[in-house]
Chain A
Amino acid sequence: MNARDDSKGGTVRAGYVRPLDIRNGRIDMGHGAGGRAAAQLIEEIFLAAFDNPFLRQGNDGASLAIPQGSRLVMATDAHVISPLFFPGGDIGALSVHGTVNDVAMMGATPLWLSASFILEEGFPLADLKRIVQSMAAAAREAGVAVVTGDTKVVEQGKGDGVFISTTGVGVVPHGIDVSGANARPGDVILLSGTVGDHGVAVLSQRESLEFETTIVSDTAALNGLVADMLAVCPAIRTLRDPTRGGLATTLNEIARQSGVGMLLDEAAIPVKPEVDAACELLGLDPLYVANEGKLIAIVPAEHGEAVLAAMRAHPRGADAARIGIVQQDAHHFVQMNTRFGGRRVVDWLSGEQLPRIC
């Protein structure tokens, strides 16, 4: 074999790999096969976005130093959402916020995340890059590092573009004991802002429901807000983010876990007028619509005002309100005084929330 004439250029530089064609490229089965294609995908899309010392070690796992004297908290969340991009966010940001918030709701400071991706054959690389960059930005903003990850590819038709599973690890400082089982009669129930924004933003993009709205998803990391709240009141009993099933379902979970009842004041629950209107149009109840950047806090009555003030001082809690009280109730009912002057039970969500026709 004759050596080519190098003087005119056109040589292949040592170690050169042609970059991924982000603009037109699509995921194929090779990207999940563990060969060069997989390595290149990880290098150019994931490492480029998440870059940190743990990933740079290039190992199969991350070696983490645990701060002394603290408890570890671990939480995991799988993310499947349609559409993948929605007003105010995308599946990438959501997969970071969801897990960061689950860790934060334990009273912990989230530190590390793992991420695994199930990609569908044919998924555009440009969309993947956009999602991964959005994840990286969300992680940076929340102050957490994505320290390990994995990618698999499934055949076309066996996935919904991309599914993302994330696991988060955080540490709880000494003296903090936050749990869904800690609510006590007499405690006050605080909510960090308006309910239903995320669910309405996503529904507005669904095929056949499509409507125009300026509502955007509230998807956000809440660890900063939680830190400010715990700083004024380490005695916070319960923190939880009312995601799927909405405020109503989350309060019922806490009531059951703590063995208590609750009494809410409908007029005190903040709902954006546009969310109210969208729910009216679709026959939905905002109390059951999902949120991704709100939290419920249950605190001893004497700390209620201080915690509420701390919430309102934080950008993620500007619309915070005191929405009810915990009471003794052997049946663990969540009840509500309606704005109309009546009273009713606020039950768990049953099945999926479906538009009413009558």
Chain B
Amino acid sequence: MVNLGGIRKEVSIELVPEAQVGDYVIVHVGHAIGMIDPDEAERTLALFGEMSAATGVSA
């Protein structure tokens, strides 16, 4: 069961077996396909439009 802004919908979490109640997931065609890392989200928000180019993980 996912909750987005007060809307609740049942989705399959078979593809993200590690998901726990309270986690944020990314949903695609009725399936959770990935998880959101809250720390990384904060870091990305902080980097938006910053002067330095020290962004992302260079793979």
Chain A interface residues (CB < 8 Å from chain B): 210-214, 273-274, 276-278, 280-281, 357
Contacts and interface: CB of A to CB of B under 8 A. Distances in A.
A316 B15 CA distance: 45
Nearest to B8: A212
B22 interface: no
A273 B5 contact: yes
Given A273-B6, A276-B5, 19 more contacts: A210-B9, A210-B10, A211-B8, A211-B9, A211-B10, A212-B8, A212-B9, A213-B6, A213-B8, A214-B6, A274-B5, A274-B6, A277-B6, A277-B7, A278-B7, A280-B4, A281-B4, A357-B28, A357-B29
A289 to B, nearest CB: 14
B45 to A, nearest CB: 15
B4 A277 contact: yes
Contacts of A280: 4-5
Nearest to A212: B8
Contacts of B29: 357
B27 interface: yes
A312 to B, nearest CB: 25
Interface of B: 4-10, 27-29
A8 to B, nearest CB: 62
Dominant SS among interface residues on chain B: strand
A281 B4 CA distance: 8
Contacts of A214: 6
25 contacts: A210-B9, A211-B8, A211-B9, A211-B10, A212-B8, A212-B9, A213-B6, A213-B7, A213-B8, A214-B6, A273-B5, A273-B6, A276-B5, A277-B4, A277-B5, A277-B6, A277-B7, A278-B7, A280-B4, A280-B5, A281-B4, A281-B7, A281-B27, A357-B28, A357-B29
Contacts of A357: 28-29
Nearest to A356: B29
A118 B7 CA distance: 35
Contacts of B4: 277, 280-281
A278 B2 CA distance: 12
A211 B30 CA distance: 11
B6 A281 contact: no
Nearest to B1: A212
A281 B28 CA distance: 9
Q: Which 6 pairs, one residue from A and one from B, show the smallest C-beta to C-beta distance?
A: A277-B5, A211-B9, A212-B8, A274-B6, A277-B7, A277-B4
Contacts of A213: 6-8
A357 B4 CA distance: 18
A281 B5 CA distance: 10
A277 B6 CA distance: 7
Nearest to B28: A357
B33 to A, nearest CB: 12
A249 B7 CA distance: 26
Contacts of A212: 7-9
A195 to B, nearest CB: 16
A134 B57 CA distance: 60
A213 B5 CA distance: 10
B15 to A, nearest CB: 16
